[in-house]
Amino acid sequence: MSRPQPPAPLPGARPGASAVIAAFPGELAPLVRGWRRLGTNAPGSGLWVLGSEHRWVAACAGSGALAVERAFTLAASQGPLGAVVSYGLAGALRTGLKPGTAHWVSAGLSVDSGAAWSALHPAKGAFLLTSPRIEPAEGKADLLRRFPGSDLVDMEAGALARLAEKQRLPFYCLKGVSDGAEESLPDFTPFLRADGTLALTSLVTHFAVRPNNWKKLIDLARVSAAAAKAMRETWMRSNIPI
């Protein structure tokens, strides 16, 4: 099998690596296949590079704003950054956005602070809300009432947009849909540590003795994998090189 070729830099990128930041390794898996994985000292984190001069770097360190900062720091540990991409899963706020699909985002808002941000994209993309929590179906319906015209909700993009703005880095955002507007994910909140990493052993132990939830977890894993694949395919079909 031939080695993957380093992609071209993102349009508008400054000299330096283009960094792809996600919450969990599964979100990045299709994208970083063939990239070189580096060791990290932080539990629950991952770091990958592509290109002889690490022109592309991908990092994850958990869910939420604190985890975004750690992942950004991990990516920057490989050298100066030239652009940043928020990449990962989000919940749909509208019924027209189907689980397993992926969408470029052109603007968003952090619901806790009210801070608005924009992302580079050649055409009008989705509008993304960033929430500090995993939103159930009723929470998503409430967000849509409060912020009409919104499309998706995640937990990371707003924090990464602020970091990119502070560093004056071009910012892109691509999200895959993990759950529909009328769906509620299994409640993972008790298994998210304060730093945003997932207490996987506790989660598995909890759900192992609750077979009523097994189908939900299996369906979520299947849809999340499809969404991760769709993110890479959406990027490949766009005129943003990867």
Q: What is the CATH number of the domain that holds 128?
A: 3.40.50.1580
Please tell me the distance from the alpha carbon of residue 214 to that of residue 220, in angstroms, as a whole number.
10
- Residue 229 in domain: yes
pLDDT of residue 104: 95
Average pLDDT over the chain reads 86
- Residue 72 in domain: yes
- Residue 4 in domain: no
- Residue 242 in domain: no
- Residue 154 in domain: yes
- State pLDDT tens for residues 127-136: 999 999 889 8
- Residue 233 in domain: yes
Arithmetic mean of pLDDT, 23-45: 91
What is the residue-wise DSSP string for 180-213? -TT------GGGB-TTS-B-HHHHHHHHHT-GGG
Asked if residue 100 lies in contact with residue 230, where contact means CB atoms within 8 angstroms, the answer is yes
pLDDT band at 1 (very low <50, low <70, confident <90, very high): very low
| Amino acid at site 223 | V
pTM of the model: 0.86
Domain count, the chain: 1
Q: Is 187 exposed, middle or buried (0-12, 13-18, 19+ CB in 10 A)?
A: exposed
Q: Where are the alpha helices (DSSP H) in the chain?
A: 25-32, 65-76, 137-146, 157-167, 200-208, 214-237
Q: Which domain holds residue 167?
A: 17-237
Arithmetic mean of pLDDT, 141-166: 96
- 140, pLDDT greater than 90: yes
- State pLDDT tens for residues 200-239: 677 667 667 677 776 777 787 899 999 999 999 998 888 6
- Residue 73 in domain: yes
pLDDT of residue 2: 42
Distances (CA, A) of 232 to 141, 195, 201: 28, 27, 29
- Residue 26 in domain: yes
